[in-house]
Amino acid sequence: MSLEFPKSLIPENEATRLRTLHHYQIVNTTAEPIFDDYVAWSAQLFNTPISLISLVDDDYVHFKALTGAEGVPGLVRGDSMCSAAILLDEPVVTGDYSAQSCSLISTDVAQTLGLNFYAGSALRMPDGSRIGMLAVIGREARGLSPVETGVLSQLAGLVSRTIELRLAYLNSQQPDTWDAAQQELAENLDENAALARYLTTRNGSINLDDDDVLALVERRLKSVAKVLDRRMAELPAAA
């Protein structure tokens, strides 16, 4: 199925979207372990060499976390598939990482790196703004099943809520507590990573279309969501 992108890389709600992005005080910040853990687990789950969390600014796409292509801080907006992917309401999946897939961006960087697969789900904040993407990227053309797409969207939702929790702790002036929250979330994600390694060793790869595998993965997703729920509930209302 071909993707129907708008005619412009800049959405109509760009001013509001950028205000929301910068409200979260996360653009161009140093690496934080929990976001690194999210992309590491995403790469495992979807059997891809690369996964990233992007934040789409006015002229640059910052990579808050990246695995599989370390040392790349981001891309200019016109070179990043994430800058086009935030324009759509649904997850973006393309097994043809080429100019024909999306005429809004230059695909030179992707082609130089030999990339042929991109799947991303937007980081959507409570006001509806899409500030970036959680994406998995590979060199072999492929697609995602509806079940896989649903798992990717759930992961993006967890990342979005973690960004909200991070700001709440910053506003509450409890940086040490944010560190503790990251540690608790990381412990859950470590269990998830161990599960992914086990499934990969047992089956050769992770098949989310297998009902038993999906049940195990969704149980772990719910465990992370519960930590986020509890941590947010424990914060003062003013945070």
pLDDT in tens, 85-129: 999 999 999 876 665 566 778 878 787 888 889 999 999 999 999
Q: Is residue 82 part of a domain?
A: yes
pLDDT of residue 23: 98
Phi and psi, residue 56, nearest 5°: -90, 105
Q: Is residue 5 part of a domain?
A: no
Q: Is residue 2 part of a domain?
A: no
The answer, yes or no, to whether residue 151 has pLDDT greater than 80, is yes
Share the mean pLDDT of the chain: 89
The answer, yes or no, to whether residue 138 has pLDDT greater than 90, is yes
Q: Are 124 and 130 in contact (CB under 8 A)?
A: yes
Q: Is residue 8 part of a domain?
A: no
- Give me the mean pLDDT over the 20-26 stretch: 98
pLDDT of residue 105: 82
The answer, yes or no, to whether residue 238 has pLDDT greater than 60, is no
Q: Is residue 7 part of a domain?
A: no
Could you tell me which residue, 62 or 217, shows the higher pLDDT?
Answer: 62
The CATH number covering residue 214 comes to 3.30.450.40
The answer, yes or no, to whether residue 186 has pLDDT greater than 90, is no
pLDDT of residue 25: 97
The answer, yes or no, to whether residue 202 has pLDDT greater than 90, is no
DSSP string for residues in 34-64: HHHHHHHHHHHHTT-SEEEEEEE-SSEEEEE
Confidence of residue 189 (pLDDT cuts 50, 70, 90): confident
pLDDT of residue 126: 96
The answer, yes or no, to whether residue 165 has pLDDT greater than 80, is yes
- Quick one: how far is CA 28 from the chain centroid? 16
The answer, yes or no, to whether residue 58 has pLDDT greater than 50, is yes
The answer, yes or no, to whether residue 236 has pLDDT greater than 80, is no
What's the pTM? Answer: 0.92
Q: Is residue 238 part of a domain?
A: no
Report CA dihedral (222, 50, 161, 197) to the nearest 10 degrees: 20
- Give me the mean pLDDT over the 130-157 stretch: 95
pLDDT of residue 162: 98
Q: Kindly state the DSSP code that residue 105 receives in the 8-state scheme.
A: S
Q: Is residue 129 part of a domain?
A: yes
Phi and psi, residue 94, nearest 5°: -140, 130
Burial 203-221 (b: 16+ CB within 10 A, else e): eeebbbeeeebbebbeebb
Question: Which token pair is 30?
Answer: 């140093």
The answer, yes or no, to whether residue 219 has pLDDT greater than 60, is yes
Q: What contacts 24+ positions apart, CB below 8 Å, involve 165-168? A: 165/228, 165/231, 165/232, 166/24, 166/26, 166/32, 167/23, 167/24, 167/25, 167/26, 168/232, 168/235, 168/239
Q: Is residue 34 part of a domain?
A: yes
How many structural domains does the chain have? 1
Q: Are 105 and 16 in contact (CB under 8 A)?
A: no
Q: What is the rounded distance in angstroms from the CA atom of residue 132 to the CA atom of residue 18?
A: 11
Range of the domain at 96: 14-233
Q: pLDDT tens across 26-55, in order? A: 999 999 999 999 999 999 999 999 999 999
